[in-house]
Structures are given as C-alpha cells and as structure tokens.
Structure 1
Amino acid sequence: MAWIALLLAAVCQTVWTYSLKYADFGALVSLRITLPILGLVLLNIVSGLANVYFLNIAFRYVPLTTAFGLWTAGTLVFIKLADVLFLKAPWSFAELFFVGLLAVAIVGLKLAAPN
C-alpha cells in the first residue's frame, strides 16, 4: 500500500506542478474570478493536499530517503511524460536515456529497500 501511496503522491505532485503553472493567481487576487480561474486554483489546492497526504502515508512505511528519492524521480518522469504526450513537447534520445536511468534507479531503490 505504501508504494501505491508513493506513486499517487508523485501523480498528485505532477498535477500540482501543472496547476501551479497554469493557474492565474493574479486574477484571483484582483477578484476577477471566473470558473476556469477558480477551477485551476482549487485543483492546485486539492492536488497539493492529496500529495502531502499520500506522501505522509508512504513516509510511514518506506525509508525516508528511499521514499523521497522515488517521489522526486517519479514526479520528474511523470512531468516529462505529460510534456511529451499532452503538450507535444520535443524530446531527444538523450532525455529518454536519462529518464530510463531514473526508472532503473527507481526499481533498484525499491528492490534494495529493507522490508
């Protein structure tokens, strides 16, 4: 369950990152509130809280350094995947190689972690 919580935390962190990028907090502060502006701000808040919740669960059962490393690497992988798949960002074989190294490191950390 802790590994699933860690995966969900990385997904929530990815959603939080993109909602932070696209949310218009300036419009919210100046009270120009529309549904899209409010929706992205609420998504930012909910995904941030969910991220902390799932990360807290993972930290209870997975060694802290392993969990933090996996969460960070997983978030980076998800952000790169979202960039390429949804935002049609360019990618290179070098990037694919290094993301692959992250994936290998994630599996290695999981296998090496004490039970």
Structure 2
Amino acid sequence: MTGYALAHLRKAPVHADVLEYLERIDATLAPFAGRFIVHGGAIEVLEGDWPGDLVVIEFPDLARARAWYHSNDYQKIKPLRTRHLTGEVILVEGVAAGHDSSEIAANIRGGGAVR
C-alpha cells in the first residue's frame, strides 16, 4: 500500500536555512523512492481555514516513508526547516486500487471498527 508524508506548513519569511533544506531534500528521498506529488502549489479553500502550504510526498509503502523520515540524511537537514517553519507533519497509508468507501460504512454498521 502506498505511503505518504504530508506537511501542513505555516507561511513564514524566507530564510537561508529553508532554502538550503529545499536544495537538499530531494537527495534524501531518492534512496526510499520518494517523490513530491504536491509541493506548495496553489490552494483553493472550499471549507474551513487553511493557513499555509501543503506538501505531499509519495512512497511505495508506509515503511519506506517512515524509514525516510527517520533516516540520518533527513534528520540532518530537518532542523533547517523546523527552526523557521511551524506546522504539522504526518505519515499516512494510502488505499488500494478499487477502494470503496461504502465498505467502510458497511463495516461500521456491522459493529466493526472505524478505519
């Protein structure tokens, strides 16, 4: 199952550390087959409030997403971002091809767990 790293980052003034982070992050993704699928593109807010930018990085599976985040190479550059940008970062598993949301509803109706 595909894994994703998502970051909701608040806007902040551009800093040299953040530019260095951007210059170096791609090299940390390569060993884990990670690739940006969203990287701060235009956002159209349809409901609620969305202060900041969205970043989505796709990995072949959640294990590789986790391994990338905890890798020495990524941990070395992470402070370049975290010292200057606030926000949330999560890892999440994708869904299989043919995913059917009604199956979740049926499971819940049958007393199953919400997932």
Q: TM-score, normalised by structure 2?
A: 0.26
Larger RCO: Structure 1 or Structure 2 (Cα < 8 Å, ≥ 6 residues apart)?
A: 2
TM-score normalised to the size of structure 1? 0.26
Name the structure with the higher strand share: 2
Larger helix percent: 1
